[in-house]
Amino acid sequence: MALKVIKPGLLTTIQDLGRTGFQKHGVIMSGAMDPLSLRLANLLVGNEEGEAALEMTLAGPSLKFETDTIFAICGGDLSPTINQKPVPIHRPIYVKRDSVLSFGPAKAGCRGYLAVAGGFDIPKVMGSKSTYLRAGIGGYHGRALEPGDVITYQKQKNILPFFEENEHKNATFCTTDWGIEPYLFHRPKQVVRIIPGPHFEQFTKESREDLFHCKFKVTPQSDRMGYRLSGQLLRLEEQVELLSEAVTFGTIQVPPDGNPIILLADRQTIGGYPKIGQVIDVDIPMIAQLKPGERISFKSVSIFEAERLLLKREMDLKELKAGILLKQMST
């Protein structure tokens, strides 16, 4: 079982839910920018939800399936097609060998996640399959995909008998009559909920108000490490020299120039700039799907509200998981 990369796209890497346990050695977490979409794609094809998938960015790759394969794409809609025919996202797809999956413009969102049934054969480095580009480790030989790369995967048994029965039909690909609601867990409006950070009170009154009343634009200098925003400049009451300490996914730091940076999957393990806020866990996928040029605004919530929302999302996900399992068995 294998797929071959014909065109790599803008930035296509192998990611899972990240590398934990090594941050004290300075090894960054990496992992999917939109962990929820990665989990959903895996669930749709019957994998463990933290299995590695392809993270595709804005302009997707062209991939040739060398064997019959079951896959699913979740997250951003990068206009996938097989032999010019549109392929639905958020559904399991059965594709015949020698078919080519291509992508067009990013219609919605910024990052798509492609999971194959069985999971990619990628060796784990420090417990994770995620690509750590700067250190050149993990993923596919520690780098983004290039033309000619061949990624293999295991055949997954017992998945979707429906597809087995349809194997002899003429279509190059087929899908189920069910799928998951696109953006089921994503909030449509671009309002990012944050918990005020440890240095929030040290910003001027004006800056604290601006943070919640003004819009901020995602600049082109935004990548997997962090999103650099532009808008009202955020100023401290007085400049302070802070000691570097640990930061996390979604921490909003403000360097001396006053433009906030939201730290994302490839953030360094520690940071030394004042932390004005923290994006709540359930809103991380929305951030990861923002394209440069888009605007967002911030809303303040308490840590307890953030915890409640996270718990609720995980309960909803558990229900969805049970639903998918039932469908996979009955179709």
Partner 1 sequence: MVQLINKLDKEVKITRLSESAVVVSFGEEICFDLHEKVKALTNYLQDHSFVGLIETVPSFTSVTIFYDPIQIYKRERKVNHTNVESPSDFVCASLKEAIQNLEKKDKHRTRIVEIPVCYGGAFGPDLDYVAEHNNLSPEQVVKIHSSGDYLVYMVGFAPGFPYLGGMSGKIATPRKKKPRIEIPQGSVGIAGMQTGVYSLSTPGGWQIIGRTPLDLFLKDKTPPSLLESGDVVRFKPITVEEYDDYKEGS
Give the interface with partner 1 as residue ranges (CB under 8 A): 20-28, 125-126, 134-135, 137, 195, 197-198, 243-251, 268-270, 275, 278, 280-281, 303-304, 306-308, 310-311, 314
Query: Cβ closer to partner 1: 107 or 187?
Result: 187
Cα–Cα distance, 95 to 280 (Å, whole number): 37
Query: Cβ closer to partner 1: 1 or 282?
Result: 282
Query: Cβ closer to partner 1: 143 or 217?
Result: 143
Q: How far is the CB of 161 from partner 1 (least distance, A)?
A: 32
- Burial (Cβ within 10 Å: 0-12, 13-18, ≥19) of residue 311: exposed
Query: Cβ closer to partner 1: 77 or 283?
Result: 283
User: What token pair was written down for 24?
Assistant: 């004290």
Residue 132 near residue 42, CB atoms below 8 Å: no
Cα–Cα distance, 269 to 249 (Å, whole number): 10
Residue 67 near residue 102, CB atoms below 8 Å: no
Q: How far is the CB of 306 from partner 1 (least distance, A)?
A: 5
Query: Token match 């992508």: residue?
Result: 103
Query: Cβ closer to partner 1: 112 or 196?
Result: 196
Residue 178 near residue 43, CB atoms below 8 Å: no
Cα–Cα distance, 313 to 183 (Å, whole number): 13
Query: Cβ closer to partner 1: 166 or 244?
Result: 244
Residue in 107, 115, 140 with CA at minimum distance from that of residue 125: 140
Q: What angle do CA 290, 296, 302 make, to 5 degrees?
A: 110
Q: How far is the CB of 241 from partner 1 (least distance, A)?
A: 10
Cα–Cα distance, 77 to 80 (Å, whole number): 8
Query: Token match 């078919």: residue?
Result: 99
Report DSSP state, residue 284.
Answer: H
Q: How far is the CB of 78 from partner 1 (least distance, A)?
A: 29
Query: Cβ closer to partner 1: 150 or 246?
Result: 246
Q: How far is the CB of 134 from partner 1 (least distance, A)?
A: 7
Report DSSP state, residue 153.
Answer: B
Q: How far is the CB of 280 from partner 1 (least distance, A)?
A: 7
Q: How far is the CB of 91 from partner 1 (least distance, A)?
A: 27
Query: Cβ closer to partner 1: 93 or 282?
Result: 282
Q: How far is the CB of 24 from partner 1 (least distance, A)?
A: 5
Chain-centroid distance, C-alpha 65: 23
Report DSSP state, residue 219.
Answer: P
User: What token pair was written down for 3?
Assistant: 């797929």
Give the phi and the psi of residue 319 in degrees, each rounded to 5. -65, -45
